Structure 1
Amino acid sequence: GSFAVWGGLFSMIDCSMVRMRGKEDPWNSITSGALTGAILAARNGPVAMVGSAAMGGILLALIEGAGILLTRFASAQFPNGPQFTDDPSQMQPAPFSDYRQYQ
């Protein structure tokens, strides 16, 4: 019902924001939440639109902020990831690199 309408409108606005701005960041979701709240409250008047826009923007800002904090916390657990070489010829040979000798 109404959650499907909210989700569809949010997704439409979010994808439009990504297309218009040319980047995908938390501001798209925050703005989409605010605009979705305002549009869905349009029949109740401008005061309700402003209130719903504020609630939608705040809710999505909290969700995006929590996601950013979780990502930073998780990345802090593994500070040094594997290092990859750009040139494979610089890699050391594998211990059994000459497979043909065993045939």
Structure 2
Amino acid sequence: MSTDDLRSGAKKTATSAGATQAEAESVADHVASLREEIDGLRHSITDIANRQMGRAQDKAMEKAYEAEDAIRKNPLQAVAIAAGLGFLFGVFTRR
């Protein structure tokens, strides 16, 4: 819905509720202003969410590289841990 459509609808609603032309115009202006503010907030939230997603992906990749490095340094320990976790997973999923 465009801002003009929103202003027009708000103006009609205010007029049908018994408001004067000036009051209806004021209501329509307030509604249009609120719409613009909400759009601005939506854009800000989207930007913040995108930045946070990027940070989370970077951190996940960093941790994956650290885990890979730990596995390369201690392969037997990594296999033992994986076997233990697999065993526990199998025990818990049987029930």
Q: What is the TM-score with the length of structure 1 in the denominator?
A: 0.38
Highest Rg: 1 or 2?
2
